[in-house]
Amino acid sequence: MAALIIREFPHLVGVLPRQTCLALATRAIDGLGERKRSLNGTFVVSLDPAGRVWLDWATNVDTLTYVATINRKSNPAWLADEIEHEWRDRSLF
């Protein structure tokens, strides 16, 4: 999968089930450090009803689509578990 280069927010990370939860989680976290100046701070990962995984500033929280709050040092395996849990809980698969 190509590197994620974030230019604006909210940013589409990918779509379930086209990509695995781990691939999406890794892409989201790695994307925060891919820019010339790494993105510092906290960000929100959300999952919409169409199975799209989004990354946005932590100040833009939508409680209906919220999955987790991350930073560039977050664990991709943990985030993948959170995405999968929310995906299954919302019966989007």
| The pLDDT of residue 83 | 96
This prediction has a pTM of 0.84
**58 within domain boundaries:** yes
Give the chain's residues under pLDDT 50.
Answer: 36
Number of compact structural domains in the chain:
1
Give a yes or no: residue 6 inside a domain. Answer: no
- Phi, psi of 49, rounded to the nearest 5 degrees: -60, -20
* Identity of the residue numbered 65: T
pLDDT value of position 36:
46
Name the H helices within the chain: 21-31, 76-89
Residue 30 domain boundaries:
11-89
74 vs 56: CA distance, rounded Å: 15
